[in-house]
Amino acid sequence: MVEQKTGTVVHKKLVSETLMRFRLMPEPDNRFPDYDEGQYIALRRDDCKLTRKTGVAPDGKPVYEPDLDPWGRQTIGSVTHSYSVASAPAETAEHGWLEFFVALEYGVHGLPGRLSEALFGMSKETSCEVTYHDRITGNFTLSARAEDAKSVLFIGTGTGVAPFVSMVKELHARGDGGDDRRYTLLHTNRTAPELGYHDTLFEIEAAGRFDFMYVPTVSRPSEHAAVDKRIGQGRASNVLRHIFDLPTTEEENQTSAGGDVARTAANIALERLVHPVLPSHLSPTAIRDRVDPAASVLLTCGNPVSTADIRSTAARRQIRFEMEEW
Ligand SMILES: Cc1cc2nc3c(=O)[nH]c(=O)nc-3n(C[C@H](O)[C@H](O)[C@H](O)COP(=O)(O)OP(=O)(O)OC[C@H]3O[C@@H](n4cnc5c(N)ncnc54)[C@H](O)[C@@H]3O)c2cc1C
């Protein structure tokens, strides 16, 4: 049985209404266990609004509804989930905290996620305490997944960038010219502010302490927002296809659609497509040249739909594929 301890959130920053970064200090007179970049820890709050399974939807997925007490109030209790550590071990050694990048989950039926809602609700009034398992674990690490590779392509979508932020920050902290691998991070979120870590990642790239290329894109570019030309456009899966000279998923679906209904759906998807565009200073060749399929590994974490498409591109271009399952 893993020991449970109670830490305190010392820094909480809303990146958007549904995205948050926070730092957790360990229980007083304790330190967090040593960890490797890419690992995760289990967190718990005891003030979560509970749900219960009420049936199964036509698509076979379980349906959850608020769990109500006899007076019609939603029951409150504990929920524990795993979260990837977004801080680097070097930062934890220096400051003591762990950092996390968390999304406010909304289920298929519009119910807020039990634990993520409680984490977003943390305040002095509701308490900033978070219980944690005193163990940081997982094998989504460079030593376990990227051994022997000369080039590592990270693809992080949404909060799935967290393990890569930890890895990149740690490589920067250790950067002493001794690591001759090439690291490339393709990082996508809906909007530029939601990338969450782009300022730090641009700074690390500019510092040049190891061979690192940062390729951020947004999947919902706004014509009204100021355009940062260092940030490209399109979903990570389509940007990857663009880099490797493949049509987008939507274009491919349109070509293969059989029957009127499928063709109409494919046409609508194609009309709505945000075409992949790389940051203005980069070309597909510049990135492709860094990722020789025979000597590279692609590590991805995040949105499961994107991940499935990224896996298929990796297979088509014969690049070794590794993913973190959330
Ligand atoms: C290794 C790992 C690392 C992760 N890292 C991160 C991270 O860095 N950042 C991040 O944001 N997330 C991360 N996650 C996801 C995270 O663990 C949670 O799953 C997520 O925050 C949603 O939790 P929730 O309690 O808010 O949602 P839940 O309430 O658990 O809802 C999520 C889904 O669970 C189902 N559900 C609802 N009620 C119940 C119930 N009573 N019983 C069972 N299922 C139910 C529904 O299908 C719902 O859509 C990670 C997951 C793993 C496995």
| 210 close to 183: Cβ distance less than 8 angstroms | yes
Q: Which residue has the higher pLDDT, 35 or 261?
A: 35
Q: Which residue has the higher pLDDT, 265 or 20?
A: 20
Among 39, 41, 81, say which to mutate for ligand 1: greatest number of ligand atoms within 8 Å of CB.
81
Q: In whole angstroms, what is the distance from residue 37 CA to residue 143 CA? A: 10
Residue 155: pLDDT above 80?
yes
Number of H helices, E strands in the chain: 10, 14
Domains and CATH numbers, the chain: 4-133 (2.40.30.10), 142-324 (3.40.50.80)
pLDDT attached to residue 1: 86
Cα 81 to ligand 1 centroid, rounded to whole Å: 6
pLDDT attached to residue 253: 86
Q: In whole angstroms, what is the distance from residue 324 CA to residue 203 CA? A: 26
Nearest CA to ligand 1 atom 52: 326
The continuous run of DSSP H or E covering 213 comes out as strand 211-218
Nearest CA to ligand 1 atom 45: 64
What is the tens place of the pLDDT at every residue in 167-213? Answer: 999 999 998 777 899 999 999 999 999 999 999 999 999 999 999 99
The closest-lying atom of ligand 1 relative to the alpha carbon of residue 106 is 49
pLDDT attached to residue 108: 64
pLDDT attached to residue 326: 87
| Angle value at C-alpha 60, between 54 and 61, nearest 5 degrees | 55
Q: What is the mean pLDDT of residues 75-102?
A: 98
Provide the phi-psi class of 215: left if phi over 0, else alpha when psi is between -120 and 50, else beta: beta
Q: In whole angstroms, what is the distance from residue 140 CA to residue 280 CA? A: 31
Place of tokens 């025979």: 294
Nearest CA to ligand 1 atom 6: 83
Structure tokens at 66: 């608020």
Q: Residues with Cβ < 8 Å from 255, sequence gap 6 or more?
A: 247
pLDDT attached to residue 325: 87
Q: What is the mean pLDDT of residues 116-130?
A: 94
Sheet hosting strand 182-189, strand order edge to edge: 232-233, 211-218, 182-189, 151-157, 296-301, 320-324
pLDDT attached to residue 164: 98
pLDDT attached to residue 181: 96
What is the tens place of the pLDDT at every residue in 289-302? Answer: 999 999 999 999 99
Q: What is the mean pLDDT of residues 86-99?
A: 98
Nearest CA to ligand 1 atom 15: 326
pLDDT attached to residue 176: 76
pLDDT attached to residue 258: 84
| 275 close to 248: Cβ distance less than 8 angstroms | yes
Cα 210 to ligand 1 centroid, rounded to whole Å: 34
Query: Which stretches of 186-272 are DSSP H helices?
Result: 198-207, 236-243, 249-256, 260-272
% of the chain beyond a pLDDT of 90: 81
| Number of CB atoms found within 10 A of residue 64's CB | 17
Q: Which residue has the higher pLDDT, 136 or 180?
A: 136
The closest-lying atom of ligand 1 relative to the alpha carbon of residue 159 is 9
Q: How far is CA 141 from CA 30, 66, 85, 138, 226, in A?
A: 25, 37, 12, 8, 36
Cα 104 to ligand 1 centroid, rounded to whole Å: 10
Cα 147 to ligand 1 centroid, rounded to whole Å: 30
pLDDT attached to residue 256: 84
Least reliable range by pLDDT among 100-104, 248-252, 293-297: 248-252
